[in-house]
Amino acid sequence: MPELPEVEIAARRLDTALEGAEIESALAPGMVALKSFDPPLDAIVGERIDGVRRIGKMPVVEIGDLALLVHMMSAGRLQVFDKRASLKDRRSRVLIRLADGRELRLREFGTKQRAWAKLMPAGDVADDEMVATLGPEAWPAPPLEELARLLDQPRHLHPLLRDQRTIAGIGRSWVDEILWTARLSPFKKGSELEADEVERIGEAIGTTLQGAIDHYEDVIGEKVPDKAPMPLQVHRRAGEACPSCGRTIEAIHFKDYVMCYCPEEQTGGRVLKDRRLSRLLK
């Protein structure tokens, strides 16, 4: 799933590519993808794109007095193409055709239709339910006092940091990297953090997300590929040696994601029970 660094680089590249581009037509082949009715999608025809920015994990395409708020969910991508998509392409959710022949396309991989877009007056974006409920942006990391207040909840750090209402932009990949960098257990509760641990999380959020964005700035050209070259050190690296201490990185499998951690540095040497594994062994 595209998280803050992936959406940030996508928004930057789209902003450069699309500024001033005139919209020739717009359609939503994925009928459920367009979640707004008024104004109609045709309202952007003939208008120019002013820019693309990011809120949390959501890109926002600014078009005159209107804004297209996009949520890519787990498998969506917002990209610009030199040629128009075939109408048979079943991955297409929203197609914005530009007068110069290019096309801004919201696509979605996999079989599920979850990605969505909403067209609304630009002034309404901040009040949209998906935006109004967001916590402060994870990047740049909030000041320590604010972070301490946000994290002071009796919930495990892994889901807490991924909760967009607590802090916006972190998902299943970067949370592993942040907790590993901070040397904290994913199962530690936010309300049980010492001051120096909150500080470590703050620093880890900052360096991890900034490092990812810097990496993307270096390696991603004008067009963002379908799969971002994520500079991950522990996430998806179960079984490999921890880059910091050399101990084998362990994983816990959940229904739709994997949590990876270093037992040496994060859980006091303990390998936590992997529910999936223990279920398979029964």
**Chain positions contacting Zn ion, by CB under 5 A:** 242, 244-245, 247, 262, 264-265
* 3-state DSSP assignment of residue 57: coil
Instruction: Quote the least distance from Cβ 263 to Zn ion, whole Å.
Output: 8
Identify whether the C-beta of residue 98 lies closer than 8 Å to the C-beta of residue 25: no
Instruction: Quote the least distance from Cβ 183 to Zn ion, whole Å.
Output: 8
Nearer to Zn ion, 15 or 265 (CB): 265
Nearer to Zn ion, 108 or 265 (CB): 265
- Closest to 179 (Cα-Cα) out of 227, 278, 250: 250
Helices (H), 58-164: 129-132, 144-151, 157-162
User: In which order are the strands placed within the sheet that holds 23-27?
Assistant: 23-27, 92-98, 103-108, 76-81
Instruction: Quote the least distance from Cβ 260 to Zn ion, whole Å.
Output: 11
**Which distant-in-sequence residues (6+ apart) come within 8 Å of 91 by Cβ?**
107, 108, 109
Helix (H), strand (E) at residue 164: none
* 3-state DSSP assignment of residue 100: coil
Instruction: Quote the least distance from Cβ 234 to Zn ion, whole Å.
Output: 8
Instruction: Quote the least distance from Cβ 4 to Zn ion, whole Å.
Output: 24
Nearer to Zn ion, 87 or 245 (CB): 245
**Which distant-in-sequence residues (6+ apart) come within 8 Å of 76 by Cβ?**
2, 70, 93, 106, 107, 108, 109, 114, 115
Nearer to Zn ion, 62 or 264 (CB): 264
Instruction: Quote the least distance from Cβ 239 to Zn ion, whole Å.
Output: 13
Nearer to Zn ion, 59 or 186 (CB): 186
Nearer to Zn ion, 65 or 240 (CB): 240
From the CB of residue 150, how many other CB atoms can be counted at a distance below 10 Å?
19
